[in-house]
Amino acid sequence: MEYRRKDVFTKPTTPADVLKLALEKEKSSYDFYSQQLKVTKNPAMKKLFLKLKAAEQLHMRYIRKMLEK
């Protein structure tokens, strides 16, 4: 299996840029885990992807709060 990144890296110039880039990366990971949940049949892998997906949700929430400040 090969995973190709959807996000494009640009050089961040402000703290907000860094947070926006981090948010994009967290979203990309969340989408990847969501997709893998749909195709895997292995119960242990499903459990892992669910945990990783939940972790990415927490990360995105934290970053969004930081962007609000």
pLDDT in tens, 20-69: 999 999 999 999 999 999 999 999 999 999 999 999 999 999 999 999 98
pLDDT at residue number 11 = 76
Has residue 9 got a pLDDT over 70? no
What pTM was estimated for this model as a whole?
A: 0.82
CA distance 14 to 26: 19
User: In this predicted structure, what is the pLDDT of residue 13?
Assistant: 84
Between CA 16 and CA 63 the distance in angstroms is 10
Looking at residue 66, its pLDDT comes to 97
> Is residue 1's pLDDT more than 90?
no
Show the tokens assigned to 43.
């119960």
